[in-house]
Structure 1
Amino acid sequence: MTVTTRAVWTAVLSAVVAAAAALDAYGDLPLTAVAGALVLLLATGWAPLLRLPAQGGTTVVVALAGLGAVAVAWATEGEPVLRNVPLVLAMALVLAFVAEMLRRGGRPRLVESVSGTVTGAVVAVCCSGWVAAGRSEAGASLVVVSALGLAVAAAVSATPVARGWVGSLVGVALGAVVAGGAATLLPSIDPVSGLVAGAVTGLVVAVLRLLFERQPALTSRRAVLAAVTAPVAVGGILVFVVGRLVLA
């Protein structure tokens, strides 16, 4: 799958997050379900994306870490919503070493396997940020404008003119403008906060796009799943941070 196609799918996933947040009449269950789905997509493809040697163990650890963090964020009452998530991440670190100890055959590329698994667990845990952002002061409005900004930045990066740093910065700018414009139509969030949130999520798309640009055509379908999901996953925790800093 080419860089352009991956960018389009990232935009689609971002739009799904925005749609789930817009269903706030049903509470935060739709957004939580989407966050869990993002974790599963990421876990399925993370090991093939990094070409890790123990793919089964990595997939299990990443999935458990991400789903555990999303569940903890959903079940936690009061502030801060993510206060128990560090415990989940700590347990994921232990599980990463347990998975390595269960390996057979001499454990080749041990350091690479452990570091890759832990990194995947951290990225998966970031999905819980979408749930936490949905429970912030701005609530669903913050999630909607941020996800829209991310979707626009990803869509722009799929166009032929978006090449290199200049094209990526154009995507960031357009994503920020769209997010700021959407904030004028939604309650609980002002245009400046929407602009900042859109810029942050746009930067995530730009950085990860340039990171994965060296792999223009991923041959593994599972690896593609992780590549298109990673920007949306990382964006979750950054949106939560923006909500805490800008809207505090």
Structure 2
Amino acid sequence: MEASTRAVLTAALAALMGVASFVVGFDALEHLGELPVVAGAILLALAVAAGWPLLLGLPNVLGSAVVIALGGAGAVVAVTATRGQPFLRELPIVIALAILLAFVNELARQDGRARLVDSVSGTVAGVLVAAASAGWVAAERSPSGTALVVSGAVALAFASAVSVVPLHSWHAPAVTIGAAVLAGGGAGAAMQEFGLVVGGTLGLAMGVLVAALHALFDRLPALRRRAAALTVVVLPVALSGLLVYVVGRVLVR
């Protein structure tokens, strides 16, 4: 999968998360509540789980994928079931249980447990990435939740789309971050629930994230495999959930 294709798909996924949040406010869909955002977050976690072991070349692909899927989906369910701030207070428990499950997964291996440290650390890292998608649900419940999620999603979509523009050296990340700041600030102002500062800060976070992930993963040989490429597509969207929530928690009252 080409870098441009991955960037477009990431932008599309970010836009879908924004749409999922936006439709929550429609009277005709009021009975669904936050279900569209919850469903989107669970799908993000499962998509991360599907390709993360292949992306990192972990020795026990199936076992690691199951642990990551359970940890990520469990995190979303835990945040959804939590009432009252802070919405992420049950998240450490879920992650701790997933880490224990990662060790159980290693004990169940019948292949001599080669590369044990790589397998455990890679699986735990995947759990953390997948669990970050629960941040979208927490952000949706925050004050000005829809505006927060939509602004973050717009900034992420623009950053992803711009990240593959062929520029030299440091110009590429600078343009990516700049586009995200402008998009986030514009979306925040358009939503009329917070000013340019919050939207711009969201954009800055999204831009830095996309630029960093682009530099880290864009040239990995594992991207020739479809599942690994899918995980790289989903990765910025999953991680952004936690960033959006943190920015909203700090700056939006």
Q: Distance in 1 between matches of 2:96 and 2:44?
A: 21
Structure 1 runs not aligned, ≥5 long: none
The one-character-per-residue Cα deviations of 1:169-210 (angstroms, maximum 9, x if unpaired) are: 211111111111111221422221011011101111000000
Residue aligning to 1:8:
8
Residues 1:144 and 2:153 are matched in the alignment:
no
1:69 pairs, out of 57, 64, 75, with 75
Label 1:178 to 1:10 Cα distance change in 2 as closer, same or farther (>3 A).
same
Label 1:225 to 1:56 Cα distance change in 2 as closer, same or farther (>3 A).
same
Residues 1:193 and 2:198 are matched in the alignment:
yes
- Pairwise mapping of residues 29-178 of structure 1 onto structure 2 (< 5 A)? 29-161=35-167, 163-178=168-183
Residues 1:183 and 2:188 are matched in the alignment:
yes
Residue aligning to 2:21:
21
2:228 pairs, out of 207, 211, 223, with 223
Give structure 1 regions of 4+ aligned residues with deviation exceeding 6 angstroms. none
Residue aligning to 2:246:
241
> What one-letter code is carried by the residue in structure 1 that aligns with 2:76?
V
The one-character-per-residue Cα deviations of 1:75-100 (angstroms, maximum 9, x if unpaired) are: 11111111101100000100000000
Structure 2 runs not aligned, ≥5 long: none
Q: Distance in 2 between matches of 1:93 and 1:223?
A: 22
Number of aligned positions between the proteins: 247
CA contact (8 A) 1:146 1:201 kept: yes
The one-character-per-residue Cα deviations of 1:35-61 (angstroms, maximum 9, x if unpaired) are: 111111111011111111000111101
Choose 186-195 or 71-80, whichever is displaced more.
186-195
CA RMSD of aligned residues (A): 1.3
Label 1:230 to 1:204 Cα distance change in 2 as closer, same or farther (>3 A).
same
> What one-letter code is carried by the residue in structure 2 that aligns with 1:5?
T
**Matched position secondary structure for 1:184:** helix
CA contact (8 A) 1:2 1:216 kept: no
CA contact (8 A) 2:166 2:172 kept: no
Q: Distance in 1 between matches of 2:201 and 2:84?
A: 25
The one-character-per-residue Cα deviations of 1:117-149 (angstroms, maximum 9, x if unpaired) are: 000000001000010011111211000000100
TM-score with structure 1 setting the length? 0.96
TM-score with structure 2 setting the length? 0.94
Aligned-pair CA distance for 1:2: 2.0
Percentage identity across aligned positions?
Answer: 46
**Matched position secondary structure for 2:224:** coil
Q: Distance in 2 between matches of 1:187 and 1:69?
A: 31
Q: Distance in 1 between matches of 2:144 and 2:195?
A: 9
Residues 1:213 and 2:213 are matched in the alignment:
no
> What one-letter code is carried by the residue in structure 1 that aligns with 2:12?
V
